[in-house]
Amino acid sequence: MVDMQTFDFHAYDSMTIEQLSAVRDQGLQRVDSVTKVMRDHVRREHAEGTPILKLAKRAGVTRPTIYAWLSE
């Protein structure tokens, strides 16, 4: 696994496909974790009455995304 604390992000060209895959997988896992927390915040704030458009703008996503998160 690549140590993301000391990784030189400008070295992608010199990495193997396997190394690039590991870096990509770590990034996707982080995005998934953050997205799950965002969904929880959106659901909670929607339940408290925050409008869909305001939630979408604050979360940096589209209104259809907010509707999808609320329907899950």
- Residue ranges of the alpha helices (H) in the chain? 17-47, 52-59, 63-71
pLDDT recorded at residue 12: 84
Question: Would you say residue 27 has pLDDT above 70?
Answer: yes
Q: Containing domain of residue 65, as a range? A: 40-72
pTM over 0.85: no
Q: Is 32 inside a domain boundary?
A: no
Cβ within 8 Å of residue 53, ≥6 positions away: 63
pLDDT category of residue 59 using cuts at 50, 70 and 90: very high
26 neighbors 9 (Cβ within 8 angstroms):
no
- Tokens representing 16 are 């193997």
Q: Is 16 inside a domain boundary?
A: no
* Coil/strand/helix, residue 9: helix
CB atoms within 10 A of CB 69: 20
**How many domains does one find in the chain?**
1
